Amino acid sequence: MSDIKLTINGKSCAGTSGQTILEIARENGIHIPTLCHNDAVAHYGACGLCVVEAEGSPKLLRSCSTLAADGMVINTEGERAVQARKIALELLMSDHDGDCMGPCRLACPAGTNCQAYVKQVALGNTREAVRIVKERLPLPASIGHVCPHPCEKDCRRGLVEEPISIALIKRFMSMDQLHAPDRWKPEKEAPTGKTVGVIGGGPGGLTAAYYLALHGHDVTLTDAMPQMGGMLRYGIPQYRLPKDVVDAEVAEIAEAGVKMENNVKIGRDISFADYRAKYDAVVIAIGAWSSTPLHCPGEDMEGVYGGIDFLRSVTLHDPLPIGRSVAIVGGGNTAMDACRTAVRLGAENVYVIYRRTKNEMPANLDEIQEAEEEGVQFKFLTNPAEIIGENGKATAVKLQVMELGEPDASGRRSPVPVEGKFETLTVDSVIAAIGQKVDPAGFDVELNKRGIIAADEATFRTNLEGVFAVGDATNKGAGIAIAAIGEASKAADVVDSYLRGAMVPYKAPFVSKRTVTAADLADREKKPRVHVTNRPAGERKHDFEPVNAGFTADEAMKEASRCLECGCHDYGQCSLITHANRYEIHPERFAGEKRHKDLEQKLVVIERDQGKCILCGLCVRVCDEVAKESLLGLVGRGFGTVVKPEFRDSDRIKVCATCKKCAEACPTGALKILR
């Protein structure tokens, strides 16, 4: 029976004598953060996170060990208490040496949990792998075919020998499940009665529409082209991304409840004002469909095309006439797609004009090498000075010879013209693949100085109420598909909150990152990367069939098993990172030397990571008070203190194999149960 009453955050709460402030708060649904508290053991008060303010008390009280008294007035979120928690968390995180997420996941613009789905593939569970990746990416099969995989660039397996083939693993698992009768299907939230119009059926628009539909909204996806897919369909050649793959993934998005309307162009078939009036919110994801001009004399001649226009014409089965000799200007993946497509259309002489060297090309190295194998000729350190023609038709391109100067803002050495030095190429056509532009005609939204739709980076809102924008059409302009998908996935959550009446801006999560060197991984067994075999160049350059078949099941499992599992096994349940994200903290203020970061397995079935340990003492107390074994203890004094086990005889080791209570109580993932 309650015999004391106190007020917590303005709420009247009843409790009994002998209860702590923390206990009564929890019974009344009031959250007070803590790391070192566990109901199974005695109060300890080590972490300092549970401090609260009490009216009339000059000092903060540790709610986990302070007994409640009748008439107390408590504020759990007062300025002093919050500031104390922030400092406590900053001190803990400044010494915390662990990876919340693997570097692969951090490098993925969509934040896909690469480590988790790669592990599931290693276990042979492609259905679960697809479920995991679709938490942030609804087009894994398409992206698995075309992504330039920034995740692999940061993969720590590269410090041992070679990075893991994450993109090929994603391609395999997604294709394995694409038509499976028991493939995973998402659950939708209850209908909200709200309507959303998404303009643009590319990767960004498809993603926004998919997740908004799963949130329970009535979503219509509108696109100007005959079929959905955007650049995945119209800007990437068939040999890289078969269109039946795009078809299947678009169908899955429609199955999730997205209504789709094609051949509807804003400004031609319906005004933007009328379109907006139909919906509670609108998301603009129109991409960047115009090619950047060359800005050289003669570019308006017949036979000079934009890279995107050329690739789109091929997909529509009405390829632009390019003749026997064609020059492609540019060094990115669009240039590689264009030159390799020209080869497949029968061009005998295909040149790539690039103003820097091969080392500076932004295109994937694989794409460059495959283009070389297919006979593409690279004219490095050259730049179009003039397109020459007869009777208004391009016949040649005059090239300015370049040399590399000082590095530019991107870190690449800037190309500088060599005065008076030129060469001329005889060609039938020129394809400009140096970039893409947004065409915002018909949209009454504010543009930035570059003529791109201006959208807030945290809310994705434009200057118009209820209108949001994502992807290539906004802020920084054209990028890779996975980046547009990442923006759209985040925007879907923001738009959902807006429709529910309280918009919550996107905020990047705070994570702990560990610095790892090759020396740290010197003891790892070297496992060679599994490579797929491409079809011979002499065969593949005559058709639009895939260059390779991807991984087999055995190859995918073997490659996935190379993962070092860098990210923390306990990230989803880690109390430390949960609290760190609740309060805005800056642990860099206390940066300095860190304690031990050794890994040891003296507990046999439990791995201890000293770098993640925050010395909360929970494992020691659980072993002593709950397991009644007293096998753990704090060793050392001051900054060098660590928790270590001590076994008096070998039989005691067997106790740990069946207990594991210490690992279950650990709030940070410092203790990992070994399977």
Question: Strand pairing of 259-261 and 413-426?
Answer: unpaired
pLDDT at position 19 over 70: yes
Overall pTM surpassing 0.85 (yes/no): yes
Weakest-pLDDT range from 18-22, 41-45, 339-343: 41-45
Q: Which residues of 426-439 are buried (b: 16+ CB within 10 A; e: fewer)?
A: ebbbbbbbbbbbbe
> 3-state class of 8 per DSSP?
strand
| 362 in any annotated domain | yes
The pLDDT value given to residue 651? 74
Name the β-bridge partners of 6: 13
Mean pLDDT, residues 146-162 taken together: 96
| 295 in any annotated domain | yes
Within 8 A by CB and 6+ apart from 360, the residues are 331, 404, 412, 413
117 within 8 A of 132, measured Cβ to Cβ: yes
Mean pLDDT, residues 30-45 taken together: 90
> Number of folded domains in the chain?
3
H or E segment at 315?
Answer: helix 307-315
Phi-psi region of 581 (alpha: psi -120 to 50; beta: other; left: phi over 0): alpha
| 401 in any annotated domain | yes
pLDDT at position 648 over 70: no
Radius of gyration of the chain (CA): 30
Domain boundary, last residue among 92, 126, 144: 92
Within 8 A by CB and 6+ apart from 283, the residues are 196, 197, 198, 199, 205, 208, 209, 212, 460, 467, 468, 469, 470, 488, 491, 495
pLDDT at position 309 over 70: yes
Q: Count the neighbouring beta carbons within 10 Å of the beta carbon of residue 539.
A: 10
Q: Count the neighbouring beta carbons within 10 Å of the beta carbon of residue 264.
A: 15
Backbone angles phi, psi at 115, to 5 degrees: -60, -45
398 within 8 A of 388, measured Cβ to Cβ: yes
Residue range 508-546, pLDDT digits in tens: 999 999 889 999 999 999 999 999 999 999 999 999 999
Domain boundary, last residue among 417, 435, 453: 435
| 243 in any annotated domain | no
| 361 in any annotated domain | yes
Q: How many Å apart are CA 342 and CA 348, to the nearest integer?
A: 9
pLDDT at position 669 over 80: yes
Residue range 193-204, pLDDT digits in tens: 999 999 999 999
Q: Which residue range forms the structural domain that includes residue 87?
A: 4-92
Mean pLDDT, residues 58-65 taken together: 94
pLDDT at position 276 over 70: yes
Domain boundary, last residue among 395, 411, 435: 435
For residue 72, the domain's CATH number is 3.10.20.740
Within 8 A by CB and 6+ apart from 76, the residues are 8, 9, 25, 30, 31, 32, 52, 53, 63
Pick from 533, 532, 524: which is nearest to 555 by CA?
532
Q: Where are the beta strands (DSSP E) in 174-241?
A: 195-199, 218-222
Q: Encoding tokens for residue 38?
A: 């566990």
pLDDT at position 596 over 80: no
Name the β-bridge partners of 468: 283, 461
| 206 in any annotated domain | no
Residue range 163-191, pLDDT digits in tens: 999 999 999 999 999 999 999 999 999 99
| 22 in any annotated domain | yes
- Helices then strands, counting H and E runs in the chain, come out as 22, 25
For residue 333, the domain's CATH number is 3.50.50.60
For residue 660, the domain's CATH number is 3.30.70.20
Pick from 472, 473, 474, 466: which is nearest to 494 by CA?
466
| 114 in any annotated domain | no
Question: Quick one: pLDDT band at residue 604, thresholds 50, 70, 90?
Answer: confident
pLDDT at position 411 over 90: no
Q: In terms of C-beta distances under 8 Å and separation of at least 24 residues, what long-range contacts does 588-591 make, across chains too?
A: 588/94, 589/90, 589/94, 590/90, 590/91, 590/94, 591/94
Q: How many Å apart are CA 486 and CA 481, to the nearest integer?
A: 9
